[in-house]
Structure 1
């Protein structure tokens, strides 16, 4: 139904010996229909140095609702939430970083729930490793955590510029050490690994779908938006879906075995609510006939950061348009040059602020930007201008430091648009920074980031605090000022989870531990929305792990129930 669906298909019937062996266990009449609301992935999106996060044609562009405690100075008083609307989903628009999170995150999901033992970290490692093809020898040496031979290639970029080394040295001065963050360490300087092959972005589309696109039992339809899941209200079994290629003209697609919903934490809510699956009060308010009463959309969470913290570089020469054009030519001809990198985004630091758990609390993520102005160091620049990417990421004279709150406590909800439930943008009441603990952690992390400016390395390279226009917080001082900045210039990381969380019962969760929707036969959800809380990293790697695990669940259930169209529970 969306991006991760074809990863499941590949896990069932992909290339490679272990894939082919499992594929032979499937019945010959097993067909997969993949419906994707976006279009085909273009090669332009595969250039590592080109930021795709702001390219609106391949994004679902949603905004949070206004509140009194976050996003106050963002346009409209709300934050943007941007996820992929393209074949490959958010793996085409994300930062490509390979971070899995910490052991305590997975072990804490359902530590007291019956049946959750399969989701303990020790039991999930095999699914992380199943699709991993790690290309860095020093990382691969730790075979307990890493492997070769999977479909997704992860490795560092070879091109490392001067400032990557500068910031790495500065972080080391602060007491951090360079180590693989995916080995359950609480702190680290990380020269990030990315999903790349031959200096080209490797999306789930390129890795999992393209190698099997020729198969006769796979049908892919792009530009197809699912509007509703058709459910037999008496039997509570799934019959199929309705989808639109043209607005207002619905088409049916019938399912013989199962439907896998993978539309993401926001769009899953839209599809399920329109299908009569959701909170009773919400269904009644929207005058939708309820099929199953489940808390769909009530556990919305997103990682959060803030703008306003940026460092100015003193010795960066102006960038000529001809140089950029030549770099594009070089990448297309040889997959090398400046565009075969992510600039300062290649380095980050994970920091443990508190000692309650052996895990990081924040990631200090760095992102470069080039401000086209000779008067940059004399005149204040707005926070929005500092964040608005004008050039490929390899060119920068400004470094935005984003302290990412990895494990936010604040949560909100997603509901349908009252005026136009079917086509209107879903209502996201994100409640960012509503919990005092979140704002305190964010401000504490800013204090850590500012210590970079006191290191010998940063002073030697004349890197200073950028003179941003911080109105209306400019007259405040110290912690009060950063508290104000965080609330006014809040920024969603666009890693939403939780709206269809898994759990033991239908009162507090939407799917069970086999990812089957409670009370509905033949419907599973397989994406980041089933995660009850965030892990301490991105959601890219965990979502692929969930898909790998789901493929094994499907095989097991289908082989045990060969005489039935659906798995009877």
Structure 2
């Protein structure tokens, strides 16, 4: 849970929002919406412009292709996609009766039908997802399962909590990791280097526990400072709201228990049908607001299937726990997601139990007023959907129930929408930035362009925490790309070092050989003179 806030999550219990943590093999790819979206090309060009050579879109594009195994080559632009990689990417095999009318409604508003991973992102699309044969394909399924128990150099420890990275205080070189299994402290040593890949919140936690972080904060937690860096700063996320709900009066997909059981059996037998899909989350659209400063989108729409009666009985419970299978719904929760937040938060260590305790997460969401204004503009644009012919045929209407924390405001006014945004804040779980990538002269940077922690040898970070600015779109695909690039950085480093050692050995051997023959020749000349 995030720390109590006065600017966001104010209607939630304790004024706090839940941030889901993927504590499973494959991380949050085992829990997410499965959307495969790379981000805007200008996002990566911006990273490079901030002092990170090798991270332009031209540079990262091959690494997106490297891991991709696209199952719909006939539906996508082949220039922007690939087959044969480890990660399955596919359009969902099943679309219910409301999918294409909703897409057509966006098109009536002037949005083109596009591939969000090709060219411009402004438009509407059927999402590409990390699915294969009707089921989720996590990074564990894609990258680890095929090699598990087959490679002698891969050892996996589950139910393990990292205590710290071991760093030599004199040489500032990482040489291993300490971790707990149950209450037993274990140690594993590294001959070459240590990679931290614990996610935006916990990578910051691990570094700070290891003595790498803001000096004053570490000292307050009784941790000896090895290197003073702004670890935990620059925290930001893609945020949205609960409470913007449309009812579908003529095209509900709610069925009786007999049909649900039949759907379940059909899915188990074929991996097809209503349960082989994320239903309305197959649709995504991106738009700009009136505050746009360049060609990139600022708002992404995702649509959650919902049961209207359940939602307005307990909006907090229903928004945080999906009490109905997503295939069966009579309403749409419209989520305008802010893609380019200016607000920044921080992650700090728990003071009572820094090692095993939950870190303190201060998102500081909506501390910048422009973030709220952009979402309000996104809400207003989404209301134009109600005027389209496509949604009129479905009987789609705005549900005019005011949520409890906002009844003092007139419904559908800017003041009401701001109350919803600040009160019923919702994350789509794309936190980024706490180990920011940047050059040494960037005082906010933690890692360099090769993902090496500044000031510490043999230590890298590889996850969304290194993003200087979160990508505009879902973050699963960019994190896979970061891992692909990082793996090449590691190989380049150690293969080059090995080559240098071999060259040095060869040069030394050649020098010794030349010296030996020079000495023998000199000795022979001396003998001849005698």
Q: TM-score, normalised by structure 2?
A: 0.90
Q: Which residue of 2 aligns with 1:487?
A: 422
Match of 2:280 among 338, 344, 368: 344
1:139 to partner: Cα distance: 4.4
Match of 2:383 among 427, 432, 450: 450
1:447-486 matches, within 5 Å, as 447-477=380-410, 478-486=413-421
Q: Say which SS state the counterpart of residue 322 (structure 1) adopts.
A: helix
CA distance in 1, matches of 2:131, 2:248: 28
Q: Which residue of 2 aligns with 1:78?
A: 16
**Does the CA-based 8 Å contact 1:371-1:386 persist in structure 2?**
no
1:282-321 matches, within 5 Å, as 282-315=217-250, 316=252, 318-321=254-257
**Does the CA-based 8 Å contact 1:139-1:146 persist in structure 2?**
no
CA distance in 2, matches of 1:253, 1:367: 44
Q: Which residue of 1 aligns with 2:55?
A: 119
1:396 to partner: Cα distance: 1.1
Q: Whose radius of gyration is greater, 1 or 2?
A: 2
Shift of the 141–456 alpha-carbon distance from structure 1 to 2, 3 Å rule, reads closer
CA distance in 2, matches of 1:468, 1:421: 43
Deviations 1:76-107 (A, max 9, x none): 11111112100010110111101111111111
Matched, 1:191 2:123: no
Structure 1 runs (4+) deviating above 4 angstroms are: none
Q: Which residue of 1 aligns with 2:335?
A: 402
Deviations 1:49-74 (A, max 9, x none): xxxxxxxxxxxxxx111121111001
Q: Say which SS state the counterpart of residue 221 (structure 1) adopts.
A: coil
Q: Which residue of 2 aligns with 1:517?
A: 453
1:117 to partner: Cα distance: 2.7
1:318 to partner: Cα distance: 4.5
Q: Which residue of 2 aligns with 1:357?
A: 294
Shift of the 324–222 alpha-carbon distance from structure 1 to 2, 3 Å rule, reads same
CA distance in 2, matches of 1:460, 1:333: 34
CA distance in 2, matches of 1:391, 1:112: 45
Q: Say which SS state the counterpart of residue 288 (structure 1) adopts.
A: coil
**Does the CA-based 8 Å contact 1:140-1:147 persist in structure 2?**
no
Q: Which residue of 1 aligns with 2:4?
A: 66
Q: Which residue of 1 aligns with 2:143?
A: 208
CA distance in 2, matches of 1:158, 1:146: 19
CA distance in 2, matches of 1:362, 1:318: 30
1:72-471 matches, within 5 Å, as 72-113=10-51, 116-143=52-79, 145-213=80-148, 214-247=150-183, 249-315=184-250, 316=252, 318-354=254-290, 355-370=292-307, 380-387=312-319, 388-471=321-404
Q: Which moved more, 1:556-565 or 1:326-335?
A: 556-565
1:563 to partner: Cα distance: 8.1
Match of 1:562 among 492, 498, 503: 498
**Does the CA-based 8 Å contact 1:382-1:469 persist in structure 2?**
no
CA distance in 2, matches of 1:484, 1:372: 22
Q: Say which SS state the counterpart of residue 175 (structure 2) adopts.
A: strand
1:467 to partner: Cα distance: 4.2
CA distance in 2, matches of 1:467, 1:319: 25
1:381 to partner: Cα distance: 3.4
**Does the CA-based 8 Å contact 1:238-1:521 persist in structure 2?**
yes
Deviations 1:333-380 (A, max 9, x none): 21112111111111121112244211111111001023567xx9xxx5
**Does the CA-based 8 Å contact 1:412-1:429 persist in structure 2?**
yes
1:197 to partner: Cα distance: 1.0
1:542-553 matches, within 5 Å, as 542-553=478-489
Shift of the 545–389 alpha-carbon distance from structure 1 to 2, 3 Å rule, reads same
1:140 to partner: Cα distance: 3.8
Q: Say which SS state the counterpart of residue 179 (structure 1) adopts.
A: coil
CA distance in 1, matches of 2:47, 2:304: 31
- Structure in which a larger fraction of residues adopt helix: 2
**Does the CA-based 8 Å contact 2:254-2:328 persist in structure 1?**
no
**Does the CA-based 8 Å contact 2:254-2:330 persist in structure 1?**
no
**Does the CA-based 8 Å contact 1:386-1:400 persist in structure 2?**
no
How many residues are matched? 494
Q: Which moved more, 1:151-160 or 1:315-324?
A: 315-324
Deviations 1:511-545 (A, max 9, x none): 11100111111111011100011111011010000
CA distance in 1, matches of 2:233, 2:500: 33
Q: Say which SS state the counterpart of residue 284 (structure 2) adopts.
A: strand
Unaligned runs of 5+ in 1: 1-62
Q: Which residue of 1 aligns with 2:528?
A: none
CA distance in 1, matches of 2:186, 2:263: 45
**Does the CA-based 8 Å contact 1:64-1:429 persist in structure 2?**
yes
Q: Which residue of 1 aligns with 2:523?
A: none
1:385 to partner: Cα distance: 4.7
**Does the CA-based 8 Å contact 2:50-2:438 persist in structure 1?**
no
Q: Say which SS state the counterpart of residue 498 (structure 2) adopts.
A: coil
1:181 to partner: Cα distance: 1.2
**Does the CA-based 8 Å contact 2:253-2:329 persist in structure 1?**
no
Unaligned runs of 5+ in 2: 502-530
Aligned-CA RMSD value: 1.8
**Does the CA-based 8 Å contact 1:139-1:180 persist in structure 2?**
no
Q: Say which SS state the counterpart of residue 350 (structure 2) adopts.
A: coil
